[in-house]
Structures are given as structure tokens and as C-alpha cells.
Amino acid sequence: MTVNIKLQCLATLTLPTGLYAFKRVGKLKQGVIFYSINYFVSFILGGMLVATATQENMYVDILTLVSLIVGVAGIIIPMRLIKQYSVIYNNNLKSKSAILS
């Protein structure tokens, strides 16, 4: 049974459903690695932002911009990855069903 690519992309918006989407196409390990790196970087940047926000310096603006970029990338990259993996998964299923019939 093929997977719906649009639903797979929407599933990546939250961690549990995103991991399930990666599991469904057989790429759970890549999903766990990506989400771990993404959350690690987000927490480090958030901590740096809080630490520098108490001080008056120019790094607050730079860290805010970098945090925004990482946050947006944390949404877009999993969607692109799951779309790519879903297309490959669907093509593999179609080729297997063509061989069997």
C-alpha cells in the first residue's frame, strides 16, 4: 500500500508523528538522527540567546536570526526528506507489485 505524500509531509510537523512517518517509509534511523540534531542545536541556540539577552550587546540580534533560521529549517528539511523517501518507497512498491503480477 502506497503512502500519501501530503499526509507524510504534514506528519513531520510534530516529533512523534514525524518519527512515525519516517518509520513508515523504513527510514526511522535517519529521522531520529535528524530530529536529535535539530533539537540539540535549537536548545543550544536557545540557551545562548537567553544567556546573551541579559547582556546588552549585538549578539542578541544575530542569535535571534540564527535561531529563526534553524527553526524554519527544522520544519522544511524533514518535509523535503520525507517527500523524497516517500516517493522512493512508493516507486519500490509499484515495481514490486509489477513484478508479482
Query: Domain-by-domain residue ranges, the chain?
Result: 5-93
- Report the alpha-carbon distance of residue 82 to residue 88 in Å, rounded: 10
The grid coordinates listed for 4 are: 500519501
Question: For residue range 16-44, what is the model confidence (pLDDT) as tens digits?
Answer: 999 999 999 999 999 999 999 988 888 88
**Residues 5 and 91 sit within 8 Å (Cβ to Cβ):** no
In the chain, the percentage of residues whose pLDDT exceeds 90 is 31
Tell me the average pLDDT across 65-73: 84
- Report the alpha-carbon distance of residue 25 to residue 2 in Å, rounded: 10
Q: Please say if the pLDDT value at position 85 is more than 90.
A: yes
